[in-house]
Structure 1
Amino acid sequence: MINISGCLIDEKIHESANSLIYRGRRETDNRPVILKVQKKEYPSPEEMARFRLEYEITRTLNLPGVFRLYGLEHYRNGLVMIMEDLSAESLSHILQTGPLSLSDFLEAAIKIATILGQIHQQHVMHKDINPSNIVAILPNGAWEFKVIDFGLATVLSRETPNVRNPHILEGTLPYMSPEQTGRMNRAVDYRTDFYSLGITFYELLTGQLPFQSRDAMELV
């Protein structure tokens, strides 16, 4: 288990290719926190800069549909992001029990689309909308949602990507818009998030993806 000054670590709750996610408590006030730690022992300067940018983008959003950040600290040779913990569950975890009912889906869809619209109003593209990056909280019998993981986010602009190797694309391939793959002569803008959200909504309703393949090139 890691040891971060000022925090007591309770458990590891998630591991991705680039980061480790822990649940813990802040020692000063016993406040529950989530800690996102860079996974590599020696992150590159580019990875450090990307992590800092993720922190800055998330911090400046200051929206109810985005987790509040408490700080960015150095940890060993990398960085750790400290944020609020609301005991939320990802939609991907919820989907393990089956698709949502129609009434639950409609409530979720309206609230999630509203959050994404608010993010776009602050000139930010997420670029990795999928059920793992949307979490749900049920505090008083009504769903609340948060969009998480702005690791690929950029300030809203028009991006024209080059043709890319499908094995090193940025994003989660089954949810990526065609223009994100670089195989369409079309700029990437906020609509790519809505494409990914549409795929997410389809999965919430049906319990499966609209396009399924183990071959990355076929999905592209």
Structure 2
Amino acid sequence: METNNEYNEPGAAHVPPQYSGSEMNAVEKIQLASEAEAVHFFKTVKERLLDVNRWTEIAGGAMSDFFLTDGEGNLVQRKAASGDHIKIDIPGPGTQTGGGYDWVTIEEIKAQVLDDAEVLSMTVRPSANPLTSSDETAHFLTAEATSTFQVKRVGNAIYAEEHGRNEVPNTDTENTLDNVRNTFVGWGAKVGLSYPQWKALVKGLLNHDNPCQSA
């Protein structure tokens, strides 16, 4: 798998530290003809990142289905904001705790502007199902895990990245079937089966074939 060692700055501070379980880094880059063109196209890239409801389309359909909800779990048609949830429909059986879905909360959206660079990062963390009163984590990974989706422009280069940290399967819930399911899905992620999905997303975020397409 690719690492982000080459791209540690700017934006490295937006990615939580790795301390347990496995990590994943999916990185894609395009180089545009001029900085002015890159500045213009980066606006589209940022819009795409925040348009969670279109992630599957942006990735060419090669991934799970994603649905943006507000903090109470109600579906919304807008750009993502801190405190929202993402309801994820992973192929195969879902969790009973999550009502058939995996849930994450958008913990932080952070923007940074430097002299010749711009960064937009969104960090999500496995969460409880906001449609129930249960505080059980409704995701195949524990609440220690994070995924940070990051886009950045450095000069006339634009990067799109996904950084998974502290990925440990969520196998200690009160639901035995969920534990079994999370073991298998978590094992698949651990051996890299989720990498092609994130690689497709970061590549789609930078799709310049139709630069006029907004997200």
Task: Identify whether the pair has TM-score above 0.5, normalized to the shorter chain.
Answer: no
TM-score with structure 1 length normalisation? 0.24
Name the structure with the higher strand share.
2
Q: Which has the higher helix share?
A: 1
Structure of higher RCO (CA pairs closer than 8 Å, 6+ residues apart): 2
Give the TM-score, by structure 2 length. 0.24
